[in-house]
Amino acid sequence: MRIGVVTFPGSCDDRDARQAVAVLGAEPVALWHGDADLAGVDAVVLPGGFSHGDYLRTGAIARFSPVMGAIRDFAGRGGPVLGVCNGFQVLCEAHLLPGALTRNAGLRFVARPQHIRVEAGSVWTAGVAPGTVLAIPIKHGEGRYVHPAPDELAAAGQVLARYCAPDGTVDDAANPNGSVANIAGVTNREGNVAGLMPHPEHAVEALLGSTDGRRILGAALASVTA
């Protein structure tokens, strides 16, 4: 399986994402933001970082990159697309995902281990039962997810994961950035496009403290090769 990882000017987790893909046994394919096609990949990851320096708003300039037109077409055909952190922001700005990401409550950058509870099934959580708690780190300054109707998102099965305590409890104490309803990730209605603020690519090897990121990144591999 070939998984494309997009690099925008200012991306900083693209190499990490490619390494994680390789660890999982797939072939990482480097995609440049100026590419007009996806080189025949089976899935796409938009990694974390600071695309175009986060000028205007996070992801606001990256949404106009040529590669985004190809990603829009790919997603429209049911192709698996995952945006991590800055990639999540880009997908929201491109209207491939609902809602938006804003400055963290307290206006401070947060970087720490974090637990999330999987809420819904999707291409990116295939084989992971709802209610499963995963340990996946976060590092962001604008990760506060906002949406005018989070209950409607949940009812539609579009809430991918919520921030939680190690025992799965969802409350304000477990919310690192003030996201509405503790939402850590969402999907489109079809479930093939997902955005996640925590970084699964930083949780694929035991040396990093957790291998739970394999459950997310590996899900797409399983869904495409099944």
Instruction: Report pLDDT for 225.
Output: 61
User: Which pLDDT value is given to residue 72?
Assistant: 98
With CA atoms as reference, report the closest residue to 225 among 123, 82, 130, 128.
123
pLDDT of 86 reads: 98
The pLDDT, as a whole number, for residue 220 is 75
Rg (CA), the chain: 16
Name the active-site residue from 33, 52, 85, 140: 85
Identify the segments of the chain with pLDDT beneath 70.
223-226
CB atoms within 10 A of CB 5: 27
Q: What CATH number did the domain enclosing 119 receive?
A: 3.40.50.880
Q: How many domains does the chain have?
A: 1
Q: Which of 52, 147, 201, 202 is catalytic?
A: 201
| Set 52, 115, 147, 199: catalytic member | 199
The residue range of the domain holding 217 is 2-225
192: burial class by Cβ within 10 Å (0-12, 13-18, 19+)? buried
Q: Is 199 a residue of the active site?
A: yes
Interval 122-175: pLDDT, tens = 899 988 999 999 999 999 999 999 999 999 999 999 999 999 999 999 999 999
Active site residue 52: no
